[in-house]
A and B are shown apart, each in its own frame.
Chain A
Amino acid sequence: MNRTVNPKELPLDDDNGPLYVAQKKVYPQSISGTFRRIKWGLMAFCLGVYYFLPFVRWNRGLGAPSQAVLIDLPNSRFYFFFIELWPQEVYYFTGLLIVAAVALFLMNSVGGRIWCGYLCPQTVWTDLFYAVERLIEGDRRERMKKDKSSDPMKLERISEIVLKHSIWLLIGWWTGGAWVLYFNDAPTLVKELVTFQAPMIAYIWIGILTATTYVLAGFMREQVCTYMCPWPRIQAALTDEWALNVTYRYDRGEKRTSVKKAIELRALGEQVGDCVDCYQCVAVCPTGIDIRNGPQLECIQCGLCIDACDNVMTKIGRPKRLIGYDNDVNIQRRQEGKAPIYRIVRARTVAYSAIIAAVGGIMIYTLATRSLLDVNVLHDRNPVAVRLSDGSIRNAYTVRLLNKSGYDRVIAIDANGPVNATIHVIGIDSVTPDRPMIVVPRDSTSELRLLVTAPAEGNPEKSIPVRFHVTDIGLGEVASATDNFVAP
C-alpha cells in the first residue's frame, strides 16, 4: 500500500508529488474459520497436483512413454493420460485456453476474484511462504516487533532468519524441480538430477523457478497483484452490480463504536453499527488494506477478513457476516428495509456457461472422434501440371501420411477424379501398380511424392477435383483429402 500524500506536506517546488514510495511490509495475522479452511484445502490440492502429477504412471504400451502427463519437446508430443497430441493439433490448447478464460469470467461474475483469492499460484505460494514465516518468526505482533527492534541481532534471531530463507529456497527449489519433471520421464530425471547427470537445461530451469518462487512469494507478494498483474484491471471491467464480492456491509456496520458504548446507545434506542473498530479485518489482510473502505484494486478477495470478523461477531454476540460475499444492490435494499436478492443466474453467467459448454463440448467431441490416421496433400506449384510426350497430363503432389496409433500400418493410396488416372509414388515399386502401398511406422509421418497421370482425352481442360483416399488395409480405417487436378 502506498502512503497517502498530502500535497501540502510537499516542498513548494515539487509540482507533482513524490516520484516513488517504499513498499509497506504487510504482516498478516493467523486466523481460523471457514474461508481459511477452504484456502488450506485448495492449497493442499493445488500443490499436491503440481508436485506429484509427474510421478503418476500411465501404460501406453512398449516403447511409448509411461508418464501420465508429459510434454515431450524433442519428439513434439504432448501426453495427457489417454490423450496424445501432435503439434498440428495445437487447437486443443486454444480450446482449453478459451474455456479457461471464460471460466475466469464466470467465476468473476458469480463470486468476484475467486481465482485471485484461492487458486492463483501467486496467492497459493505466498500463502505457503507466510505460513512458513509465521511458524518460525511467530504471528503478526511478534514479527512486527522483531522487524522494528533496533537491538543488535542475537544468534537466535539470526538462526530464525536463516532457517526461514532456507525453507523458502527449498520450497522454491522443489517448485522448479517439479516443473522440469513435466518435460522428461520423472523417475529417470530425479535419478539424473541427484547424481548430477541431468542435462544442463534442467538445472537452469530449476534455478530460474527457484529464483522466481523465492522472490515473488517471499518478497514481492501483494505487489505482484497490485502492480504487475493485469487481471485486477480486467476483472474490474467485467464485474457488474450482481457479482458477489467480499464486502463490508456498511448498512449494518456504521456507525462504528465500542462494544460497551454500543450497548448503552442501543438501550437508548439509537442507531448503532455492529463494527467495533477492532481492526481484525485489517490485521489478517494479506494485502494490508481496510475492506471497510469499499471495493479496492488491491483486494484479492481471499475471504480471510470474513473469518476474522465472524470470530469477533461471535464473541460479542452479534450476527456473523458483517463482512461477507455481498453486493451494493443488497446493501441498498437492506437500507430500504427490503429483503436481499441474489441473482446467480443472469444473462452473463448463462452466456459464459453456454460458451464453456459449447467449446468444451466441441473439444470432447473432436477428441472422442479423433482419427488416428490422417493425410495431408500439397499440390506442386511449379509446375502445376506437366504435359507428357504422348500428350497426357501429369500432376505431382506431396502427400503426408500421419499414423498417430501405437502400431505400424500398411497404407494403400487411391486417387479418384480424373478419368483413367494412374498413380505412382516415387521410390515405391508396389506389387499392386495402380494402388501403391507403403508401411507407415507407429507414431510417425511419411512424406511421399505422388504422381497422378491421366490421358488428355476425357479430361476437361480446366481444373477438376481429385480425392485421395488412404486406407489401412489391416483395419479398413480410411482418411481422405481433396486437391485439384490441373491441365497445363
Chain B
Amino acid sequence: MTDHHSDIDPVSGRSTTGHEWDGIKELNTPLPRWWVITFYLTIVWAIGYWIVYPAWPLISSNTTGLFGYSTRADVAVELANLEKIRGAKMVALGAASLADIEKDPALLALARAKGKTVFGDNCAPCHGSGGAGAKGYPNLNDDDWLWGGSLDQIMQTIQFGARSGHAKTHEGQMLAFGKDGVLKQDEIVTVANHVRALSGLPTRKGYDAAKGEKIFAENCVACHGDGGKGNPEMGAPNLTDKIWLYGSDEATLIETISQGRAGVMPAWEGRLDPATIKAMAVYVHSLGGGK
C-alpha cells in the first residue's frame, strides 16, 4: 500500500483516498455511524430470516423455520378463499338452465370465464386455444356441427363424447368403402367427384355425373341423407357446405372414402363436474357458431 497519510486536499483540509483520476482526487469521507449500524442491523435481520423462515436445504427437505411458514399453505388458503367467493356463483350456475345462463349477463360472463379456462386446460390440445380446430378436429367457431350446435346438443357431446366408449356416446362413423372392398377404385374416384359437385366444386374431366349420383344413392344417402345435407343424429357431415373437416380436394376425399373416418371426442362426464360442463357448453356455444 502506498502512503496516503500525507495526501491532504488543500481546499477542504481533509484527507483524500489517494486515488486520482485525471487530476481529480476523491475526499476520504467516512460513512455516518448510523449508516454503518443500519448496515450491520440488516445482517442481523438476515440471520433472523434464516431462523424464522424456511431457509437451509437439507438432504431430502429443508429447514422449516420457527414460523412454520410455507408458500403451499398460503396457496391453500388463497384457493379456499377463492372457492368461498366462487362457490355460491357456481351453485347458481349449476342450478340454472343452459338457456337461462345465456340470458343472464352475470351468469353468461361467469360461464364464459370459467369455460375459457377449462377449455384451455382440456380442449385446446385438439381444438386449439380459441377453438379454431385443425384437420380432423372441428372448428368450434363456425356454424357447422357434426352432432348439432344447440346448447343441449353441445353439452351432450361434451358429456359423453363421440366414439368415446362411454355408454351414451355418439356412435356412427364413416365406413372404409375401399379398404372393405365395398367400392372399386374407379367408383371411389367417381363418387368423390360427385361429392365435390355437391358443394359446387369443379369435377375431374370425363366425370360421369349419372354414375356418381347412382353410387352416392346406393352407398352414402343412408347417413348423409338425400342430396348430402348430412345428419347430426349420425354425426354425418353436410357435404354441400363450404366447411370440410379433413379437406375437400379430390385426393383427400378419395382417402376419406377408401379408409373411412372415425375421430374420437372423449367423454368429459366424471372428469369435470356438471356445473363446469355447463359452463363449457355455454362457452363453446358463445364462440359464435352456436345455434
A residues near B (Cβ < 8 Å) are: 2, 4-8, 10, 12, 15-23, 220, 223, 227, 380-383, 386-391, 394, 396, 426-427, 429, 446-447, 449, 451
Question: A-facing mask of B201-225, CB < 8 A → 1, else 0?
Answer: 0000000000000000000000000
* Set B12, B33, B288: member contacting A394, Cβ < 8 A: B288
Instruction: Check: B135 CB closer than 8 A to any chain A CB.
Output: no
Closest Cβ of chain B: how far from A220's Cβ, in Å?
Answer: 8
Query: Please, which residues of chain A bring their CB within 8 A of the CB of B287?
Result: 396
Q: Are the C-beta atoms of A21 and B15 separated by less than 8 Å? A: no
Q: Is the CB of A380 within 8 A of B242?
A: no
Given A10-B5, A16-B4, A382-B128, A427–B34 Cβ distance below 8 Å? Answer: no
- B243 contact set on A, CB distance < 8 A: 387-389
- Are the CB atoms of A427 and B141 closer together than 8 Å? no
Which chain A residue shows the least CB distance to B112? A449
Chain B residue nearest to A428 (CB atoms) is: B105
Q: Are B130 and A7 in contact (CB under 8 A)?
A: no
Interface size for chain B: under 10, 10 to 19, 20 to 34, or 35 or more residues? Answer: 35 or more
User: A383: which B residues are within 8 A, CB to CB?
Assistant: 128, 130-132, 139, 141
Whether A394 lies near B32 (C-beta < 8 A) is no
Can you list 26 A-B pairs with a CB-CB distance of less than 8 A? A5-B30, A7-B6, A7-B15, A16-B17, A16-B28, A17-B15, A17-B28, A19-B30, A20-B30, A20-B33, A20-B36, A22-B33, A220-B34, A381-B130, A382-B132, A386-B142, A388-B242, A388-B243, A389-B143, A389-B243, A390-B241, A394-B141, A426-B102, A426-B288, A446-B105, A449-B288
Contact, CB under 8 Å: B4 / A7: yes
Q: Is the CB of A449 within 8 A of B286?
A: yes
Query: Which chain A residue lies CB-closest to B286?
Result: A426
Whole-angstrom CA separation of A240 from B264 in the bound complex:
78
Known A-B contacts A4-B12, A7-B6, A389-B238; A223 and B32 likewise in contact (beta carbons under 8 Å):
yes
Return chain A residues, CB-CB under 8 Å to B129.
Answer: 382
Contact status A2-B28, CB under 8 Å: no
Residue of B with least CB distance to A391: B242
Report A-chain residues with C-beta under 8 Å of the C-beta of B108. Answer: 426-427
Distance A8 CA – B6 CA, assembled complex (angstroms): 7
Across-interface contacts of A396 in B (CB, < 8 A) = 141, 287-288
Chain A nearest CB from B47 CB (Å) reads: 21
Write the chain A residue with the least CB distance to B108.
Answer: A427
With contacts A5-B30, A16-B4 taken as known, whether A390 is within 8 angstroms of B242 at the C-beta atoms is yes
- Tell yes or no: B35 within 8 A of A by CB: yes
The answer to whether B8 touches A6 (Cβ under 8 A) is: yes
The answer, yes or no, to whether B103 is at the interface (CB within 8 Å) is: yes
B1 contacts the other chain (CB 8 A): yes
Tell me, rounded to whole Å, the shortest Cβ–Cβ distance linking A28 to chain B. 19
Given known contacts A15-B1, A382-B132, is B142 in contact with A389 (CB within 8 Å)?
A: yes
Additional 4 contacts, C-beta under 8 A, given A386-B139, A386-B142: A5-B14, A17-B28, A227-B35, A426-B286
Chain B residue nearest to A396 (CB atoms) is B288
Q: Are B4 and A388 in contact (CB under 8 A)?
A: no
Q: By the criterion CB–CB under 8 Å, are B242 and A386 in contact? A: no
A10–B28 Cα distance when bound, in Å, is 13
Q: Does B178 contact A (CB under 8 A)?
A: no
Q: Are A2 and B32 in contact (CB-based, < 8 A)? A: yes
Q: State A389–B239 Cα separation when bound (angstroms).
A: 10
Are B15 and A6 in contact, with the CB atoms below 8 A? yes
Q: Tell me the complex Cα distance, A5–B7, Å.
A: 12
Is A387 in contact with B109, judged by CB distance below 8 angstroms? Answer: no
- Enumerate the 6 nearest inter-chain pairs by beta-carbon distance, A residue then B residue, closest first: A382-B130, A389-B241, A383-B132, A7-B15, A386-B141, A7-B5
Which of chain A's residues have a CB closer than 8 A to the CB of B6? 7-8
CB distance from B290 to the nearest CB of A (A): 9
Q: Is residue B68 contacting chain A, with contact meaning CB distance below 8 A? A: no
Closest chain B residue to A380, Cβ basis: B130
> For residue B7, which residues in chain A have a CB less than 8 angstroms away from its CB?
7
Q: Given that A21-B33, A394-B141 are contacting pairs, would A8 and B288 also be in contact in the complex, using a CB cutoff of 8 Å?
A: no
User: Which residues of B sit under 8 angstroms from A426, Cβ to Cβ?
Assistant: 102, 108, 286, 288
